[in-house]
Amino acid sequence: MYHIASIGGDGIGPEIIMEGKKVLDAVSDKYNFSIKWTDYDIGAERYLKDGILLDEDDYKSLGRKDAIYFGAIGDDRVPPGILEKGILLSMRFYFDQFVNLRPIKLLKGVETPLSGKGPEDIDFVVVRENTEDFYVGIGSLFSKKEKKILEVKRELYNIKFSLDIESDSDEIAYQIGVISREGSKRVIDYAFEKAEKRKKKLTSVDKANVLSDIYGLWRKVFLEEAQKYPGVTHEFTFVDAITMWFVKNPEWFDVVVTPNMFGDIITDLGAMIQGGLGLAPGGNINPCGVSMFEPIHGSAPKYRGLGVANPCATIWAGALMLETLGEVKASEAVVKAIERAIDKKVMTKDMGGSSSTREVGDFIAKSLY
């Protein structure tokens, strides 16, 4: 029995999580395991009512689960950043989910905007570092003078910056990015191990030609780790160049490892070449802790409650969750069932179909064989 937390969140989040749970329950019946769901009321509604994003009890209780299944957050009534940082990023950091795993795979029957490319050309995974870089959230916007202590608290380390800034500009802003040896090493190792089990090629992304301190360290650690995996071919790309190669030659890639912010950007591009955000899942993974699985798209508040949201990314994220829990056969069955829905055109409008969110979920839940 797996104990899984489910967080619908905002906008279309609750609807797509409902379909995901339906499919995972159906597949668990077939493959002889069971899931005990605990639903959490986390998101904009609660924040607007009680001012709470996540409290100690939430963390404690989530920390006892085998995994977290997450819909989406984001709401027009809350200024941008509050929910994203206070809920999603907080959970990634608190549970030290240092890998953000995003498969870029063109499923059978899905159209890609890349002409002449098919499922055999678009099948790689992006391993995005998930706790460091410019996402550490420390910076400031100020005028003239400022003294500030900025801190990063992680399981791996605590860092304290004491800044004493004088400026005669009217207003400046700065943001500090942090890359650590430990933080890069663990995610790069994870990516090398992943590549060993796939086509044995790992591509690292950086911008060491300009941001040479922060990404110079990343590159140095990557090269050091590469020595330990002689069976894996390794290469570097700059982030600007990789956006070009994703479009021109996606078949070159097997596993791509990237610092956090570049990973955010290139996986939206990846989502497009695999058929759109409606088909792009992600896992926030701590191999020794509580991992969290979510679609990479947002909460699309204007579609809330209309039954038009595509549940496939969330259902696929559920398959990633099963794979991580060790239910590999069940995980494969879910992805195959998504392909059957695509084949039979039981799809939402974004994919050219006319089915509702629920109809897609029902069809996939019945196609698990």
Q: Which residues bind Mn ion (CB under 5 A)?
A: 264
Report CA-CA distances (Å) from 343 to 119, 200, 206, 241, 331. 14, 31, 38, 34, 19
- Yes or no: say if 312 and 296 are a contact pair by the CB < 8 Å rule: no
Rank residues 87 and 346 by Cβ distance to Mn ion and give the closer one: 87
CB of 270 to Mn ion, least distance (A): 11
- Nearest partner of 339 among 299, 357, 312, judged by Cα: 312
Q: Which residues face 281 on adjacent strands? A: 295
264 binds ligand IPM per the rule CB under 6 A: yes
Torsion angle (degrees, nearest 10) of CA 225, 230, 232, 233: 90
Site string for ligand IPM, 272-301 (x = CB under 6 A): ------------------------x-----
Task: Sort residue 92 into left (φ over 0), alpha (ψ -120 to 50) or beta.
Answer: alpha
Site string for ligand IPM, 12-31 (x = CB under 6 A): --------------------
- In this chain, which of 31, 46, 84, 343 binds ligand IPM, going by CB under 6 A? 84
CB of 264 to ligand IPM, least distance (A): 4
CB of 327 to Mn ion, least distance (A): 27
Rank residues 296 and 322 by Cβ distance to ligand IPM and give the closer one: 296
Task: Give the side-chain half-sphere CA count within 13 A for 43.
Answer: 23
Q: Which residues face 125 on adjacent strands? A: 103, 255
CB of 322 to Mn ion, least distance (A): 23
d(CA 217, CA 345): 47
Minimal CB distance residue for ligand IPM? 84
Rank residues 206 and 294 by Cβ distance to Mn ion and give the closer one: 294
Work out the widest C-alpha separation in the chain, in whole angstroms: 68
89 binds ligand IPM per the rule CB under 6 A: yes
Stretch touching ligand IPM by CB under 6 A, among 48-56, 84-92, 142-150, 334-342: 84-92
At position 195, the amino acid (one-letter code) is A
Residues lying near ligand IPM in the complex (CB under 6 A) are found at: 84, 88-89, 264, 296
